[in-house]
Structure 1
Amino acid sequence: MEIKIGIGLDCLVFGMSQKEVEDILGKPDKTSETEKDKGIVYYFYDKLIKTKFDKEEDLKLYSIEVHNPDVKMFKKKLINKTKGEIESLLLNNGYKKIEYEDYDTFDIIFCEEIWTTFEFELNRLKNIEFSPLFKDSKNIIWPNRIYHNHSIPKEGLNEEG
């Protein structure tokens, strides 16, 4: 299970419809509507994945949250790594815009360059939430849909989707 920055997760590509996601992952175990942005969330219990669809973006797949211990980024498994290990991994891969937030029961590292949030509990990574990249604060760079089953190079991104 490999996170592809700005693209998606394995065969899941940002911009897919709910039906396309269901064709890949099957029917969700649970669905809900988010209050904040009025999006739709699919929960896949056996895969330890949540997918979010944004109503403002015609219910396209907009965000993926992974709790699965097999998930990889930069060819490394991440779940249960420490904050220091994740910070080093980001820095070693050229990502330097790292923000830290401490809450009562968990901590977050956010990397804007890859639009990814790493959530920690007791200094161990519990989940990763990521979405497409942004050209600016309002314009999403949707991945080119031809990359569904391919390893996608960074230059393979386009702004049309």
Structure 2
Amino acid sequence: MEIKLKFGIDKLLFGMKQKDVEALYGKPSSRYEDEEENVVYIYNELKMRLTFYDEEDLRLGYITSTNENLELFGKKIVGQYWTDVKTVLAENKLTQFETEISDGTENYFFETNWLFVNVDYGRVFKIEIGAIFTDNEDDFDWKFNS
């Protein structure tokens, strides 16, 4: 499953509605509403959590995954050593990031691509990717047009 920075993962594109996602992957294993009234789909088999933003007409805006088959720039990243993943990112000009450490977990945030790489014990265990904003930074740059 290829991570497509600024676009989504695999066949998922930012801006899809729930019906579009269900047409691809079927009904989610479960779903809930978060504290901001966003709808969150959980697909156990895919190890993915999809967030549909309430204030954006319930468009897909955020994906969190621990799927070991995720690839970025043709390389698997979940389960890999951060030092190796960091090298792959640098080779693809992703060198600007913010670092946060919380309870020993390292979180690396690449704002221009809205990519979070979560690391524990030196290995990547989770990827988070979100829709980016347009140049005026008031609107999301939706990649899917229904």
Relative to the length of structure 1, the TM-score reads 0.84
Q: Aligned residues, how many?
A: 145
Match of 1:33 in 2: 33
The Cα shift of 1:105 comes to 4.3
One-letter code aligned to 2:98: E
CA spacing shift, 1:137–1:59, aligned 2, 3 Å: same
Matched residue, 2:47: 48
Partner of 1:155: none
Residue in 2 aligned with 1:61? 60
Q: Secondary structure of the residue that 2:15 maps to in structure 1?
A: coil
* Amino acid of the structure 1 residue aligned with 2:5: I
* 1:2 Cα deviation after fit: 0.5
Could you say which residue in structure 1 is the equivalent of 2:122?
123
Partner of 2:95: 96
Identity of matched residues, %: 31
What is residue 22 of structure 2 aligned with on the other side? 22
Cα offset, 1:85, TM superposition = 2.0
> How far off its partner does 1:11 sit?
1.1
Partners of 1:56 and 1:91 lie apart in 2 by 34
TM-score (normalised: structure 2): 0.92
| CA distance in structure 1 between the aligned counterparts of 2:42 and 2:50, rounded to whole angstroms | 7
Q: After the TM superposition, which parts of structure 1 deviate over 3 Å for at least 4 consecutive aligned residues?
A: none
CA contact (8 A) 2:99 2:107 kept: yes
The 1-side partners of 2:85 and 2:137 are apart by 25
Contact 1:95 1:113 in 2 (8 A): no
Secondary structure of 2:20 counterpart: helix
* C-alpha distance 85-142 of structure 1, shift in aligned 2 (>3 A): same
Please, which runs of 5 or more residues in structure 2 have no aligned partner? none
Counterpart position of 1:78: 77
Task: Flag the 1:46–1:144 CA change in 2: closer, same or farther, 3 A.
Answer: closer
Name the SS of the counterpart of 1:12 in structure 2. coil
Rounded Cα–Cα distance in structure 2 between residues aligned with 1:103 and 1:49: 22
Q: C-alpha offsets along residues 50-73 of structure 1, whole Å, 9 cap, x if unaligned? A: 110000100000011111101101
